[in-house]
Amino acid sequence: MKLHYYPETDSLYIELKGEPGAETREVAAGLNVDLNAQGEVVGFDIDQASRHLDLTTLETIALPLRQTRVA
C-alpha cells in the first residue's frame, strides 16, 4: 500500500495494488474508487484532502509491516 499526496491539486491517492485502474467510480463527493478489469479495488482518490483529513500525522495500528520507506 502506498499513499501519494499531490499538493498542486490537494489530492491524496491511496494505492492498494500496484496495477492500473480500468474504471473509476465516484462513491461520494470528492471520493473516487479505482477498479481493475476484474472489478477489484486498486485505489482511492480523495479530492481536497487537506480540508477533510489531518495530513500531518500517519498512524498505523497492528499492521504486519515488513518495510517502511519515506520518500
pLDDT digits (tens, 9 = 90+) for 40-55: 999 999 999 999 999 9
Residues with Cβ within 8 Å of residue 35, at least 6 apart in sequence: 21, 22, 23, 24, 25, 41, 42
- The fraction of the chain above a pLDDT of 90, given in percent, is 80
Query: Taking the model in full, what pTM does it have?
Result: 0.87
Q: Are 2 and 15 in contact (CB under 8 A)?
A: yes
Distance CA 4, CA 2 (A): 6
Q: Are 36 and 17 in contact (CB under 8 A)?
A: yes
